[in-house]
Amino acid sequence: MVKHGISLFVITIASTVTGSCTPAPDRMVQSAVETPAFEPVLDAHLAAIMGRDLKAFNATLTSGDNLNVIFPNGKVLPDTQAVRDFHSEWFADKDWVMEPRVIKVIKGEDLATALLKYSYRDNAEGKPRMNWLLLVFKLENGAWKLVHDQNTEIEDV
């Protein structure tokens, strides 16, 4: 009787330990779904801007209407359609020169940010103006989409 009790006790402990090491079904599903790479989307977004490619640019934007852009002077484009309209007009201007440099990227499960520093000139001979750019992307249906664009002027010190 004692041997049988000890054996049953050992089996119970072994089952508990083994069972506690097995991930719960929800955890297994979550770990099986990988968050897509963010950097290629950021690169595509910047390439679309530099190439003045409106179709490629629009493909990186949120499908919702909550995208806004804040310019260095504080002016705000209040929604996604205003952002599309502005970029359509801006991309038609072939004179401006923008040179962005990625400073830092932070990627979470469903949000990613990119901090950039860029120089902007109205034309090739123009005086460069330095700005910070913070881009916020959100995961939508398995793809990173831009939801916020914040520009801040860097004043001469």
28: which strand partners?
Answer: none
pLDDT at 12 over 60: no
pLDDT at 34: 81
pTM for the full model? 0.78
Full set of structural domains in the chain with CATH: 2-31 (no CATH), 34-153 (3.10.450.50)
pLDDT of residue 156: 75
pLDDT at residue 24, as a whole number: 46
141-155: pLDDT as tens digits: 999 999 999 999 998
Q: Is the pLDDT of residue 136 over 60?
A: yes
